[in-house]
Amino acid sequence: MANAMWGGRYQEGPAAIMEEINASIDFDKRLAAQDIRGSRAHVAMLAKQGIVSEADAKAITEGLAKIEAEIEAGTFTFSRALEDIHLNIESNLAKKIGPAAGRLHTARSRNDQVAVDFRLWVRDNLDAIDAGLKALQQALTEKALAHAGTVMPGFTHLQSAQPTTFGHHLLAYVEMLGRDRGRFADARKRMNECPLGAAALCGTSFPIDRHMTAAALGFDRPTANSLDSVSDRDFALEALSAMAISAMHLSRLAEELVIWTTPQFGFIALSDKFTTGSSIMPQKRNPDAAELVRAKIGRIIGALTGLLVVMKGLPLSYAKDMQEDKERTFDAFDAFALCVAATAGMVTDMVPDAKRMKKAAGVGYATATDLADWLVQTLNMPFRDAHHVTGRIVGLASARNIDLDKLSLTEMQGVEPRITEDVFRVLSVGNSVKSRTSYGGTAPANVKAQARRWLKVLNRG
Ligand code: ARG
């Protein structure tokens, strides 16, 4: 049987395989709420412009409300023969209200319809993402404030570099997530134009009011070019790009959680709620949630790359290729929301082992820079010379397999006679972090101030 919605010139129905490749209902049913929102705005505008009667508009609006309730209740029957969410809803509307349903699609095409639905979906979900990232920033900042003075090793090349604090380390992620939220906000702002009314590709001869529908749907304005409106998916690409960057940040934090929870590091413990046991090794507490956060970025980069490949080389305007925009995008948003929530859970529950971290902070001559700085500040030595002298002192300590502050004054004076007892003041990890008071530096007082600043920002916005 030919398609009831567009089959006027068709004698035969589609091959089974055609139906299978063509139908998007299995995944685009996720656009139902947005589709109904768009239709409501469209029909209200059609009525106001005198394009459909008030009576028909009322019947359509009431029918849409019933469909919405059925979909929410899970009693709506979706049909593959009806291809996609747009035709499923319109066809059901006809069953409910009769021929007036056929007027809903006046001055509209599925091309602008899907463009507006998908934009609304991405926009709704960007808002949800922002709330999730903000909650994660809050969790990180609270932990950072509590541990502004908890000394831990700072690494470069994953080698002991200089002592830092756990609070300072966590606030680094708060900064990253702040920029991520900025990127999502930029994407949201740029995408907030309404394609509805572009119709198939060239606009319409009906006297529609695109400003009215744009405003009703919360857009800043209608899109200015009808071809562009139905052709581009850059709004989804931009959201996915921002997501890939943010997922990369989450993946790095997840990797650190994995490293920190190894018995060898033992810097933090994750809660039972966010770890799993092993079916064979009874002692294990595996950081599965962190590992999955680390991994899920694969899907997100995959979605971004996949959509870029789908879109590249497509001639204007709409092509069915673009139906491939949704599935992976939905999947990426789902994966990302999960990652954000799981990370917030882990961060809230994690307990640092301050003693172990402090001990580890001194390993590997992490205060060598402090010694060099002392030589510069106290003996007015050029930094390069101080670096060299410090290197020789580290060599002494290393040959004896002891920490820098365990060397005697006489031993250090053997390398540089002007060194005094005062040097021991800077060789402890606690004093090292306290001394780094430059703006943005690791000193606990700085970290506290930054954490408080962030809490204010987060509570404001
Ligand atoms: N399901 C389609 C999509 O996702 C809707 C638009 C169909 N347009 C068309 N001219 N067949 O892209």
Distances (CA, A) of 167 to 139, 294, 342: 12, 22, 20
Q: Is 42 a catalytic residue?
A: no
Identify the pLDDT of residue 172. 98
Identify the pLDDT of residue 181. 98
Per-residue pLDDT of the chain (461 residues; tens, 9 = 90+): 677 777 888 888 899 999 999 999 999 999 999 999 999 999 999 999 999 999 999 999 999 999 999 999 999 999 999 999 999 999 999 999 999 999 999 999 999 999 999 999 999 999 999 999 999 999 999 999 999 999 999 999 999 999 999 999 999 999 999 999 999 999 999 999 999 999 999 999 999 999 999 999 999 999 999 999 999 999 999 999 999 999 999 999 999 999 999 999 999 999 989 988 878 787 778 999 999 999 999 999 999 999 999 999 999 999 999 999 999 999 999 999 999 999 999 999 999 999 999 999 988 898 999 999 999 999 999 999 999 999 999 999 999 999 898 999 999 999 999 999 999 989 999 999 999 999 999 999 999 999 999 999 999 86
**Hey, how many other C-beta atoms are within 10 angstroms of the C-beta on 117?**
28
Closest C-alpha to ligand 1, atom 1: 84
Instruction: Give the position, in ligand 1's atom list, of the atom nearest the Cα of 84.
Output: 1
Identify the pLDDT of residue 15. 92
Measured in angstroms, how far is the CA atom of residue 90 from the centroid of ligand 1? 14
The SS3 call for residue 154 is strand
Taking the whole predicted model, whether its pTM rises above 0.85 is answered as yes
Per annotation, catalytic residue among 226, 278, 279, 387: 278
**Hey, how many other C-beta atoms are within 10 angstroms of the C-beta on 285?**
16
Q: How far apart are alpha carbons 9 and 3 in whole angstroms?
A: 10
Identify the pLDDT of residue 282. 76
Ligand 1 pocket, residue 152 CB under 6 Å: no
Identify the pLDDT of residue 4. 73
**Hey, how many other C-beta atoms are within 10 angstroms of the C-beta on 407?**
20
Half-sphere exposure of residue 126, counting CA atoms within 13 Å on the CB side? 28
Q: Is 86 a catalytic residue?
A: no
CB 340 within 8 A of CB 129: yes
Q: What stretch of H or E contains 84?
A: none
Closest C-alpha to ligand 1, atom 4: 323
Question: Which regions of 243-284 does DSSP assign to beta strands (E)?
Answer: 268-269
Instruction: Give the position, in ligand 1's atom list, of the atom nearest the Cα of 118.
Output: 4
DSSP track, 108-129: --HHHHHHHHHHHHHHHHHHHH
Closest C-alpha to ligand 1, atom 12: 323
Identify the pLDDT of residue 279. 80
Q: Which of 111, 230, 233 to mutate to test the pocket of ligand 1 (most atoms within 8 A of CB)?
A: 111
Measured in angstroms, how far is the CA atom of residue 22 from the centroid of ligand 1? 9
The SS3 call for residue 238 is helix
Which tokens is 59 given?
């019947």
Q: Would strands 221-222 and 193-194 be described as parallel, antiparallel, or unpaired?
A: parallel
